[in-house]
C-alpha cells in the first residue's frame, strides 16, 4: 500500500487498495482527501474530534441512504470509525452519457420532491437514529435522548442546553435564558401543529447538497435525527442557495402545515445558537433577536 502519511489513520484505508491520497475541500472541521484505489476514487474525512462525531455522521448517512427516494442520492459509507469516514466519490464534474442532464430548475424541483418524500419516513419518537443519544451539529454536541413531542425535544434537548452554552461562552448575554423561559410558555403555539417525527438531514444548508454532472442532488454531512421536517426547510433558507422551485415542488408533493413560512425564522434558532457557540459575533445577536421576537 502507498505511504499515505498526511495524518490519515491506517485503519481507515487498510484493505481498500489505496494507491495515493491528495487533500481536497470537504469541510471546515475536518481534513478531507481523495483516495485513488484499485476500484476507483473514494472520499476520506478525518480529524481530531470525539469518536462519536464521525460515527454519528456515518449513522446518519446510512439512514438517509436507506430511506432516500429515487430523486435523492446519498453516498455509500465504505468505512466509518471513530477516527473518520470513507465514502463513495461523488462525480461533480462528469456527465454520464446514458443519463439525461437536468436543467437548473429540474435539479431544484427534483431536490424538493425528493426531500418531501424522504420526510415521510417516520418513527415513534423524536430523537436519535438507532437509539443514539448523542449527535453533533457541526462540532457542537447535541442531545438526542428520545422525547414524545417536538416542543419537548426542541426545548429540552436543543434550545435550553445550546442557549446555556452560548451564554457560558460569552456569545450571548444571560438575558437569553430568561427570554427562552418566556418563549417556552408559548411552545405549542410557536412550534405549529403536531406532526409525526420525520427523518431529517439536520444540517441542510447549501454546502451540504452536492450536484453531480447530470444535475442530480446528493445529500452529505448530515446531522440526521428523527425531528420536525420544518427544521430542514428553515435551514435551507438560513444561508440561501436553494431555488424557489425546490420549495414549490416540496409543497406540491408533501405540503407542510399551514403557517410554515411564518415559522422559518423560529426554526432557524437552533443553527443560529450553534453558530454563536462556534463563531460568536453576529450569530449570537441574531439568535437573541429571534428570542426577543417570540418572547
Catalytic residues: 203
What are residue 157's phi and psi, to 5 degrees?
Answer: -100, -20
**What is the C-alpha radius of gyration for the chain, rounded to an integer number of angstroms?**
20
Is the Cβ–Cβ distance between 209 and 218 less than 8 Å? yes
17/207 Cα distance (integer angstroms): 30
Q: Report residue 13 as a C-alpha cell.
A: 484505508
Q: Where are the alpha helices (DSSP H) in the chain?
A: 10-13, 51-67, 104-118, 150-152, 160-168, 175-184, 187-190, 229-236, 244-253, 264-267, 269-279, 282-294
208/294 Cα distance (integer angstroms): 29
Is the Cβ–Cβ distance between 16 and 78 less than 8 Å? yes
Torsion of CA 234, 227, 160, 157, to 10 degrees: -160
Is the Cβ–Cβ distance between 65 and 49 less than 8 Å? no
Longest dimension (CA), the chain: 60
86/81 Cα distance (integer angstroms): 9
Q: What is the DSSP letter of 90?
A: P
Is the Cβ–Cβ distance between 18 and 1 less than 8 Å? yes
Amino acid at each position: 500500500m502507498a505511504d499515505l502519511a498526511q495524518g490519515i489513520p491506517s485503519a481507515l484505508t487498510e484493505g481498500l487498495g489505496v494507491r495515493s491520497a491528495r487533500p481536497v475541500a470537504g469541510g471546515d472541521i475536518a481534513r478531507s482527501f481523495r483516495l485513488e484505489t484499485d476500484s476507483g476514487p473514494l472520499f476520506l474525512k478525518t480529524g481530531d474530534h470525539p469518536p462519536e462525531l464521525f460515527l454519528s455522521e456515518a449513522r446518519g448517512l446510512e439512514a438517509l441512504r436507506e430511506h432516500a427516494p429515487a430523486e435523492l442520492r446519498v453516498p455509500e459509507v465504505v468505512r466509518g470509525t471513530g477516527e473518520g469516514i470513507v465514502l463513495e466519490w461523488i462525480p461533480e464534474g462528469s456527465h454520464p452519457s446514458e443519463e439525461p442532464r437536468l436543467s437548473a430548475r429540474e435539479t431544484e424541483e427534483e431536490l424538493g420532491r425528493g426531500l418531501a418524500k424522504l420526510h415521510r419516513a417516520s418513527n415513534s419518537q423524536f430523537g436519535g437514529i438507532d437509539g443514539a443519544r448523542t449527535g453533533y451539529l457541526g462540532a457542537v454536541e447535541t442531545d438526542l435522548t428520545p422525547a414524545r413531542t417536538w416542543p419537548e425535544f426542541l426545548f429540552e434537548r436543543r434550545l435550553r442546553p445550546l442557549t446555556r452554552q452560548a451564554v457560558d461562552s460569552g456569545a450571548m448575554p444571560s438575558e437569553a435564558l430568561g427570554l427562552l423561559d418566556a418563549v417556552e410558555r408559548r411552545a405549542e403555539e410557536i412550534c405549529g401543529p403536531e406532526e409525526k417525527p420525520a427523518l431529517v438531514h439536520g444540517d441542510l444548508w447549501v454546502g451540504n447538497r452536492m450536484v453531480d454532472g447530470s444535475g442530480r442532488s446528493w445529500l452529505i454531512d448530515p446531522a440526521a435525527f428523527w425531528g420536525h421536517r420544518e427544521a430542514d426547510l428553515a435551514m435551507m433558507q438560513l444561508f440561501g442557495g436553494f431555488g424557489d422551485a425546490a420549495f414549490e415542488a416540496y409543497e406540491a408533493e408533501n405540503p407542510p402545515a399551514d403557517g410554515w413560512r411564518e415559522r422559518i425564522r423560529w426554526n432557524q434558532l437552533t443553527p443560529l445558537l450553534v453558530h454563536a457557540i462556534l463563531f460568536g459575533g453576529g450569530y449570537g445577536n441574531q439568535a437573541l433577536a429571534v428570542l426577543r421576537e417570540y418572547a
